[in-house]
Amino acid sequence: MPTSPASAFGELYSAYAAGRLDPAFALMLETQSMLRPQVRQAMAVGETVSGLMLERDQPAAMSANSGARALAMIDEMEAAASAPDAALRLPEEPELSELPEPLREPALMAYGDMGWQNLASGIRRLGLDVGSALEVELYRIQPGARVPRHTHGGQEFTLVVSGGFTDETGSYGPGDMAINGPEDTHQPVGDADGICYALAVRDSGLRFTGVMGLVQRLLGK
């Protein structure tokens, strides 16, 4: 069923506020916050709590000239951010350009580097590099298209960005998060009212069943 952000992801919000969240989950939360006002509120609360805890910490002694070095580092980062960079010239892709701001740039960069991969009829996926050891993929599911039935080698978090899909556990729309583990077997089907974009973060790959599972095992994947 669609998860309740405030109850299920409180720890993620706190970790995000403290700067300890994996980049893949940070991207997922930032994207979800653009779709759900209550998620933005929960993240703001987490940042406030983190700030209060930081204020209560005992101040640490600073080494000589540490303030000047910090200011110099800030100047260097600002200069690097303002410098023209050919790598940031993103390719044009109308549908991907409509994605929420946190997700748009990595999706367009991946599209320019590798392009879409076909998974099944009406199903395409795009591997995203966000500086995480986790597997991060963006799925494009056409109305009525079926993701091959599968289970998971570990935990999988899937955020619906636009459109929707339905599986054995329920229906998911924009901003909803589905969580599945090794004990779950399901087959998401794209809803009929439009193309579904979904962001998946997992710590292990998909394990297909049926014919695709046989092929997967033969290929040793």
Residue corresponding to tokens 């600073």: 62
Please give the pLDDT value at position 40.
Answer: 79
Tell me the pLDDT tens digit for each residue of 210-221.
655 545 555 555
In angstroms, the CA 10 to CA 111 distance is 32
**Structure-derived torsion over alpha carbons of residues 32, 33, 36, 38, reported in degrees to the nearest 10:** 130
Give the residues of the chain that fall short of pLDDT 50: 1, 3-7, 54, 86-87, 214
Tell me the pLDDT tens digit for each residue of 82-131.
555 544 577 888 999 999 999 999 999 999 999 999 999 999 999 999 99
Domains of the chain: 96-218 (2.60.120.10)
Please give the pLDDT value at position 80.
Answer: 55
Identify the burial level of 29 via C-beta atoms within 10 angstroms of its C-beta, where 0-12 means exposed, 13-18 middle and 19 or more buried: buried
Diameter of the chain by CA atoms? Answer: 66
Rounded to two decimals, the pTM is: 0.74
| Integer Rg of the chain from CA | 20
